[in-house]
Amino acid sequence: MKLFKHFDAESIDHVLEMVTATNGKTALMAGGTDLMGVLKSELLAAYPEVVINLKTIAGLDTIKMVDQECRIGATTRLTDIAASEPIQTTFPALAAAAASVGSPELRNMGTIGGNLCQDTRCWYYRYPDKMGGRIPCYRKGKGPCHAIRGENRYHAILGGKKCYAVCPSDLAIALGALDARVKVVGPTAEQMMPILDFFNVLGTVLKPDELVTEIRIPLPSKTAVQIFLKNRVRDAVDFAVVSVAVMVDQEEGVCRDARIILGAVAPTPYRAFAAEAAINGKSLNETHVAAAAEAAVKDAKPLSQNAYKIDITKALIHRALLSS
Amino acid sequence: MTKKYRFIGKTTPRKDGVAIVTGKADYIDDIHPVSMLHGKVLRSPHPHANITAIHTDKAKDAPGVRAVLTHADVPPWMTGMPRHVKVLDQRVRFVGDAVALVAADTLEQATAALDLIEVTYEPLPAVFDMDAALAPGAPQLHDIFPGNLVTDFPAFGPNTLSKVVRGDVEKGFEAADFISEGTFGYENIANPLPIEPPGVIAQWEDDQRLTVWSGTQSASWHRWIMQSKMGFPDIRAITTQCGGSFGSKNYAPQCLFYASALAKETGRAVKVCYTKDEHFGAFVLRLGSRFCGKIGMKKDGTVTAVAGDWMVDNGAFSDMSQSQIAVGCGEAQLVLNCENWNLTTKLVCTNRCPSGVIRGFGGQELESAFAPILADVMAKAQLDPVEFFKKNYVKPGGKYIWREGNLWTCRGKDYTDAMEKGAVSFGWKDKWNGWLVPTAVEGSKRTGVGIGIHGNADVGEDDSEAYIRLNADGTATIHASVSESGMGQRSSLCKMAAEVLQLPLEKVHMTPPDTLVNPFDFGLVGSRGTYAVGSAVINAAEDALKKLFERVAPELQAQPEDLDTLDARIFVKGKPEQAMGWGRAIGIMRSVTGYGEFKSDYSVPNFLALFVEVEVDTQTGAVKIKRVVTSTDAGQIIDPPSLNGQLYGALGSAGLDTAVFEETIIDKKSGHMLNMNMCDYKWRTFNELPEFENVILETPFPTHRFKAIGVGEISTSPGPGAVLMAVSNAMGQHMTDYPLTPDRILKVWGEKKGIKNETV
């Protein structure tokens, strides 16, 4: 692995100072479970001179209930989120998403901030440099998306245009259903943005000198039901083929305020508005659920090898809604 | 079980167990000869290209760099079968092929210098598929293989099996009641992925003497096979623990070439340890396999004829493919006892990572490829596959042509009882509802069962030698060139010797796997450890005891044959007071050395049946392995945990799971391997281990001292076909493609239900 300097950050201000001082040639590291792979593979031409360790920032790894919302520090470990009693009780979809990531070892290292900011798993994008050279592509700023005419079984069926790589984050899907917001801090300003606005088709909206410091989740209605389901080839150390997170409130058997977010089917977490519309104001019976599942994928444009994701998406929505 | 043994058959602590679990055991990564350098390989971005220019000046000037080698200045060593693969070539043949070598003081310096080597390529058209490689006008990978066909089969002598021609297939098909035919592939080109990637350290002691350390499976291969590729230097080969091999790390010719070439150039020890990326993308894969042919069968399940062409995808090169084809041709005959054969083979070069030795060694490839045809013809005949396999495997007295081309008569065991007991344990009768009928259906979850069998006449393959030295302190030292690649056989060999010598197990040790101090042994390949290597060690122990008894008989006033020994004390049988300790008997300034050998014998095949129950979710396409039962006959179990470990190994390491998700994925246009990491290359994790039972019979096998017979290698091979059968039954539809990933399941299920998803 290429060498870099490593700094333990003391505060967020300290991070911002160092990022400025090194002219952006930095990489921010929380758990490092994704970053180490990115660096080892040298998959980007730019290689950081400095890696800044965020885990040493005091108080950035806490889960707090404040003013009708839950605030989770960016370096809170996935293990701690999955095991947190308030999260399990109030945000079971988030607890399930955190528990579904990787393996116990990865969850002991990985953090919520890192999970949101991790790079895509597209295997063209991830091709290791020392095996003949990294593969240039649209996402890297040069060339086409190789998945379109290549091996695309795990790529996007929805919303792909110039790049069909999918967002790998499990927590983003659960947080999307929970209508969470992300606190982004930069040298001049900080902002709270809805989680779904945090992602764009090429990753996240973070600028090189910005970082995520906190995730805030509003307390859900006491009658709302949450589900997170993740389909993958094997039940550990694997990313989603399709995931779905649902939060839906029901009053006297009638749905309202449904939020249905799909993962690994699009370059970003995908909010299935049409599926939500298909059940809002209705009961969750077989007919309405089937209609919601169909509606969710009506815009799907699968590539040569990933049409099966449509079936899985429908199956997951079906299962999630019927278990709500 | 009439004879009670002191150690044999009992669970005893594995001798290297504590060292492994406490981190004390040495792997190749732990070995650091004095002033060792690190070697790295620059790899090709092209699947096929000529190197037209290569400039190394900048790399040579880089900090810490001691040598940079290109095709222009490497030694003239050659590997491949027949020899055609240079250390470095002016032509590259797969993405990741070696272009140049760097040795530097640190690994980081060597890696950084790779970026400073400037190479100009003339890209050539490439072929990624056997059909493309065989098409008229296809680009040629090697000048010596016109049409990309390897036709030279020198693996096991002049009559090496490259086809099976027996009887009269025309008559055979005429006599058939049912015939099935088609073209089916087993082209996952899986990688068994032992934990530690391959690595070699080389150091030249002088011009002719080379020492190599490696984390590989068979120490002697790095001496006797590599000598022949390198102009016969005197190679001392030492192996470390190697963290598993599954055949793939029997040896590592390329690593050894690179380390030795850099060591020669620098006069220093050089370590070349592959990264995991290189382990995936530039080491060895399982052969690609495709069978195009037909099988004829009578109503009663008698196989009347097998005919067809077995196409084998070699990748860019290999030095073991012909050996695997030869063994595979033999193994197919063991599974299908048929009088009429016309099985031809084609070994085809394509522009992907080379192939090598992988557990299953030919038979798994061939049998998995023709499994759909066999399933189809069995289904036509409405035959219970358990009855079919029981009927058709080669029993004592049956005949088969083995790898070197000779016709052998089986003098092994009858495995019918083992298969029947396995079927009972599995509950086959209750679960089998006929072809393409699920065992159970619950909503979208459908359960099905399948069976496969495999046999290999390798329990007595190749030669072994061993010495045993009896020491005055009441210990014994086994000298045998046996490396440890995870199966625990070194421990089991100590058990066999301890049983013969009647010494406490902790008093029996083995020399390190080092060809300088040990006689020849072919290594732990196939299932030869128990019978071939074990017999050599047992013979050596018996020889040593004989010599010891002859030495002390006069002093004990007895005949040598009247003597016995227990815990390093020799006594006259029936007169325990007439005794002498080994200290006095041997003498503190002396030792007693026994010699034992084993000569290859291909008349003894072993067999294993594997039963599997799967659950298919027709909504998500998920295939879950619910339960596996293996059944075999070990004659006499030597070490229960080691044997069970071998059988549990049926699942992963390019075995049964190649029917579920293990596969290497290569871009069909660029030749890039896309899943070269342990996340994207799916392999089974511990949380998904199915229920697994081994039914092991112990019917004494006469010609082994402890009546034992090896079964280690064969557990992976029946799995893929068995899973295909089980999933077919669950879905009510013949499934023919490996692996049965969700996309394949859902596509077939969708077609069955008349659903189709439009693609762009």
Query: Both B610 and B723 in a single domain?
Result: yes
| Domain at B513, CATH number | 3.30.365.10
The mean of the pLDDT values for chain B is: 96
> What is the predicted pLDDT for the residue at B744?
97
Residue A49 clears pLDDT 70, i.e. is over it: yes
Query: With contacts defined as CB-CB under 8 Å, which chain A residues touch B275?
Result: 130
Considering the domain boundaries, does residue B662 fall inside one?
Answer: yes
Would residue B347 count as lying in a domain? no
Sequence-distant (≥ 6) Cβ neighbours of residue B546 within 8 angstroms: B560, B594
Both B535 and B609 in one domain: the answer is: no
Residues in B touching A39 (Cβ below 8 Å): none
Q: Look at residue B311 and tell me if it is in a domain.
A: no
Q: If we measure between CA atoms, which residue out of B334, B296, B326, B299 comes closest to residue B310?
A: B326
Give CA–CA dist A315/B9, Å, rounded.
50
Task: Say how far apart CA B218 and CA B646 lie, in whole Å.
Answer: 17
Are B560 and B653 found together in one domain?
A: no
CA atoms within 13 A on the CB side of B619: 15
Residue identified by tokens 């007439």 is: B578
> Taking CB atoms and an 8 Å limit, are B670 and A146 in contact across chains?
yes
In contact, B544 and B594? CB cutoff 8 Å: yes
B663 with B636, same domain: the answer is: yes
pLDDT of res. B754 = 78
Number of inter-chain CB pairs under 8 A, A vs B: 126
Say whether both B496 and B573 belong to one domain.
yes
Over residues B380-436, the pLDDT tens digits come to 999 999 999 999 999 999 999 999 999 999 999 999 999 999 999 999 999 999 999
Inform me whether the pLDDT recorded for B284 exceeds 80.
Answer: yes
DSSP A126: T
Q: Is B578 within the bounds of a domain?
A: yes
Residue B86 shares a structural domain with residue B104: yes
Cis before B82? omega within 30: yes
Q: Name the band, by pLDDT with cuts 50, 70 and 90, for residue B622.
A: very high
Secondary structure element (H or E) that encloses residue A15, with its range = helix A12-21
**Is residue B401 located within the same domain as residue B468?**
no
Residue B755 banded pLDDT, cuts 50, 70, 90: low
CB proximity list for A315: less than 8 A, separation 6 or greater:
A231, A293, B444, B619, B620
- The token duo for B39 is 């070697």
Q: What percent of chain A has pLDDT over 90?
A: 97
Residue of chain A whose Cα is closest to the Cα of B741? A233
What ipTM goes with this model? 0.96
If asked whether residues B641 and B719 sit together in one domain, one would say: yes
**pTM, to two decimals:** 0.97
Q: Return the pLDDT at A183.
A: 98
Judging contacts by C-beta atoms under 8 Å, the chain A residues touching residue B620 are 231, 311-312, 315-316
Q: Which domain holds residue B236?
A: 28-124+198-273
Q: Quick one: B537 and B638 in the same domain? A: no
Q: Which of residues 39-98 of A touch B (CB under 8 A)?
A: 41
Domain boundary among B273, B295, B325: B273
A93 token code pair: 């979809």
Q: Which contiguous run of DSSP H or E holds residue B121? A: strand B118-123
Q: Where are the domains of chain A?
A: 1-324
| Residues B480 and B553 placed together within one structural domain of the fold | yes
Q: Which of B260, B270, B195, B265 is nearest to B223 (CA)?
A: B260
Cα B14 to Cα B245: distance, rounded to the nearest angstrom: 18
- Whether the pLDDT of residue A104 is over 90: the answer is yes
For residue B447, being part of any structural domain is answered with yes
Residues B449 and B563 in one domain: no
A239 touches chain B (CB under 8 A): yes
pLDDT at B1 over 50: no
Do B725 and B700 lie in a common domain?
yes
Look up residue B710 and give its two tokens. Answer: 């090896």
Cβ-Cβ contacts under 8 Å, A146 against chain B: 667, 670
Q: What percent of chain B has pLDDT over 90?
A: 97
**What is the domain class of A1-324 according to CATH?**
alpha beta
pLDDT bracket for residue B243 (50, 70, 90)? confident
CB within 8 Å: B108 and A2: yes
pLDDT digits (tens, 9 = 90+) for B449-491: 999 999 999 999 999 999 999 999 999 999 999 999 999 999 9
- Tens-digit pLDDT profile for residues B683-692: 999 999 999 9
Instruction: Assign residue B757 a region (left: φ > 0; alpha: ψ between -120 and 50; beta: otherwise).
Output: beta
End-of-domain residue from the set B273, B306, B321? B273
* In contact, B594 and B390? CB cutoff 8 Å: no
The domain boundary, picked from B273, B289, B304, lies at B273
- What is the pLDDT at residue B760? 45
By the 10 Å C-beta count (0-12 exposed, 13-18 middle, 19+ buried), B632 is classed as buried
Is there a domain that residue B155 lies in?
A: no
Region B141-170: what's the mean pLDDT?
96
pLDDT digits (tens, 9 = 90+) for B487-511: 999 999 999 999 999 999 999 999 9
Helix, strand or coil, per DSSP, at residue B289: strand
CATH of the domain at B112: 3.90.1170.50
Of B282, B676, B743, nearest to A153 by CB-CB distance is B743
* pLDDT tens figures, A125-154: 999 999 999 999 999 999 999 999 999 999
Selecting from B44, B686, B741 the residue whose C-beta is nearest the C-beta of A132 gives B44
Q: How many domains does chain B have?
A: 3
Whether residue B139 is preceded by a cis peptide bond, meaning omega within 30 degrees of 0, is: no
The pLDDT tens digits for A253-300 are 999 999 999 999 999 999 999 999 999 999 999 999 999 999 999 999
CB contact under 8 A, A151 and B621: no
> What is the percent of chain B with per-residue pLDDT over 70, rounded to a whole number?
99
Q: Which residues of A touch B278 (CB under 8 A)?
A: 131
| A259 has a chain B CB within 8 A of its CB | no
**Can you tell me the mean pLDDT for B338-346?**
98
Q: How confident is the model at residue B3 (pLDDT cuts 50, 70, 90)?
A: low
pLDDT confidence of residue B757 = 53
Query: Is the per-residue pLDDT at B539 higher than 90?
Result: yes
The reported pLDDT for the residue numbered B756 is 55
- Cβ distance A135 to B672 less than 8 Å, yes or no, reads yes
